[in-house]
Amino acid sequence: MLMEYPILYSFKRCPYAMRARMALVLAEITCEIREVRLNNKPNHMLKVSPKGTVPVLILKDMVIDESMDIINWAIKKNNLFKGNLEHSEKNFSEELISIFDDKFKYHLDRYKYSTRYEDDNLEFHRNECHKILISLEKNNIP
């Protein structure tokens, strides 16, 4: 297959895909965006990334299928921030990202998509999400 631009498999309601797209836009990297339906993923996407999540960025010589890896690739590629991001600032952003990706997302999925889980304690997971947000609003790391 002749690739003029990198291909990004994406989904408009996916926050991971959106943050990857934002980094690609900021880094001024032109991509062919392929919008997918999560209930009907393209074979080509599953072939290059069998885990079946978006975003997936396909470059000439590699496939990147984790949003943070796409962001870091874009930052490095176009030297975004040009070394201006303070070390402590970077650690803080990484900590915040991991709170949302790990802790918050864990409870959010079990609240928002409760039918997909055996654990049906919807109220509990909603409260855990709420606690994290309250804590962040008070500028505390939960």
Kindly list the residues in this chain that would bind ligand GSH in the complex (CB under 6 A): 11, 14, 16, 38, 52-55, 66-68
Q: How many residues does the chain have?
A: 142
In angstroms, give the least distance from the CB of 21 to ligand GSH.
12
| For ligand GSH, the closer CB: 51 or 82 | 51
The residue among 75, 73, 55 whose CA lies nearest residue 65 is 55
In angstroms, give the least distance from the CB of 9 to ligand GSH.
9
| For ligand GSH, the closer CB: 46 or 134 | 46
| For ligand GSH, the closer CB: 108 or 136 | 108
**CA 15 vs CA 52, 53, 60, 116, 124: distances in Å:** 15, 12, 25, 19, 23
In angstroms, give the least distance from the CB of 66 to ligand GSH.
5
d(CA 142, CA 25): 31
